[in-house]
Amino acid sequence: MKIQLRNDTAANWTSANTILAQGEIGIENDTKKYKIGDGSTAWNALEYVGIIPPDTQTDNYVPQWDGANAGKLKDGLQVVTSLSDVDTAIPTSKAVYEEIVSLKSAYSRREKVLSFADNTQTPPSENSGDRYLLTNDGASNAAWDGAAGNSIVEFNGTSWEATTPKEGWIVFVDSTSKDAVFLDDGTPKWETRNVAVTAHSGLTGVGTHTHTQIDSHIDSTANPHSVSKTQVGLSNVTNDAQLKRSANDWTGISSKTIISNNDKFLIEDSADSYVKKVVLLNNIAVHGGNASGN
């Protein structure tokens, strides 16, 4: 048994503008696209079923907007500007690109713009690829081609394409070298954030101390916070000055001309693993006698 569906060239279908029966399939044998009838809608008003087959999406394929059906192309495809809607429609390449940029940055980052632009005034420039963040200062100037305030706009060479931002989106503004973050807390707006690292001398709102005072404090070696030895776990350390150990460095050490048998020496006992011990001068033999020579 052989089954053959109704088919003809795209041009012939358009010319005949046939009304397909309910559930009847009509195929364009030169484009491989097809439509399903509903018993009342003429061919030219029916939408294609599915998507454009890959072998027809050549480098020369140029989608054209259907002016009578907002958001749809003349070939019947629904087009969206956000990947959140891909379950019901086909995203534009621009939407895919924006999503890739966002994923690479680990944030909801969009492609950078030249600057903010007053949405009530005419565009500062109209070169292909120019991108701006629109302000929201009132009704948009007609030259923005219907773009609303706060939109991200890009000039495609003929007109301005607008993308409505979502809260948390981030865009780098080239003219200010700052990021703009879109906030929607009842009054939707873009707010700028510093991107470049700022030296502490350029900071503001750092408290009551001047930068000179901060520098002086950092450079001070005089214990400016009055930290005690107890606070750092050295409560058992006496306040005695430490003996200098450099060779021939006796600076600050006074001399004693008359010795006493009660004078003490600090030694390392070679017979006891060099443990440090105190020895009275009286116990040190000097030429077979004590310190007095007896």
Per-residue pLDDT of the chain (294 residues; tens, 9 = 90+): 777 889 999 999 999 999 999 989 999 988 888 899 999 999 998 888 765 444 444 444 445 444 555 444 444 444 444 444 444 455 556 666 666 655 554 457 888 999 999 999 999 999 999 999 999 999 999 999 999 999 999 999 999 999 989 888 899 999 998 999 999 888 899 998 876 566 666 677 767 777 788 888 888 888 888 888 888 888 877 776 666 557 777 777 788 888 888 888 888 888 898 888 888 888 875 534 444 444
Q: Flag whether 276 is in a domain.
A: yes
Domains: count for the chain:
3
Note whether 117 and 188 are same-domain residues: yes
Q: What is the DSSP letter of 176?
A: T
- How far is Cα 273 from Cα 9, in angstroms, rounded to an integer? 106
Residue 180, in any domain of the structure: yes
Q: What is the reported pTM?
A: 0.38
> Of the candidates 164, 194, 224, which is a domain's last residue?
194
Asked, for residue 211, whether it belongs to a domain, the answer is: no
Angle at 7 between CA 4 and CA 12, to 5 degrees: 160
Residue 26 within a domain: yes
Task: Please give the residue range of the domain that contains residue 287.
Answer: 261-294
Q: Are 34 and 48 in contact, with CB atoms under 8 Å apart?
A: yes
Dihedral sign, Cα of residue 37, residue 71, residue 181, residue 109 = positive
The pair phi, psi for residue 115, each rounded to 5°, is: -175, 180
Residue 72 lies in a domain: no
Distance CA 180, CA 194 (A): 9
